[in-house]
Amino acid sequence: MCRRWVDDDGQVHEEAFLITLTWMPSTMLTVARPGRVHRVDAAAADRFEQNLRDRAPRGETEDVRYTYLAWVDGESTQDDPTGLLRTWPAPRGIEREQRYTPGSGWDTSYVRDDWHRGRYDGRFDRIDQETAEQIIQMWEQRRAEQG
């Protein structure tokens, strides 16, 4: 499910409702092929969102507190990193990880495991959620401009 809205300053925002039950910036509407997107009214969108929330396993998606990490490697910087990760504690003491991919959103990742095995270089700098959202917006804008 995607949505497009205009803020008070006239800037257009596009978001996708993800499996994490959150709205995140996305360019899926902009890059979708004709005929692949179908408009629905607000009531249908609300029903869809509520249906996903009702079916979500309890405890895994409610009140998740993410830790955000900027993966800085080579020429990248903390403000424009090689990758953007988020982690959170899962049941039984396991820490879960996702990596953000422009146009697709958050997906399961094992970047830090591979880093520990020497497959990647760089470092992981802790950043706050606002900084992560700014990076996502910059990447999505860059992706939209590249078309």
pLDDT at 95: 86
Using one digit for the tens of pLDDT, what is the confidence trace for 23-68? 888 887 888 788 888 888 888 888 888 877 776 655 544 567 899 9
pTM above 0.75, yes or no: no
pLDDT at residue 102 is higher than 70:
yes
Q: Which residues contact residue 123 at a Cβ distance below 8 angstroms, ignoring those fewer than 6 apart? A: 71, 72, 73
- Using a 10 angstrom Cβ sphere, with 0-12 exposed, 13-18 middle and 19 or more buried, the burial of residue 19 is exposed
Q: pLDDT > 90: what percent of the chain?
A: 43
Domain boundaries, the chain: 2-55, 67-145
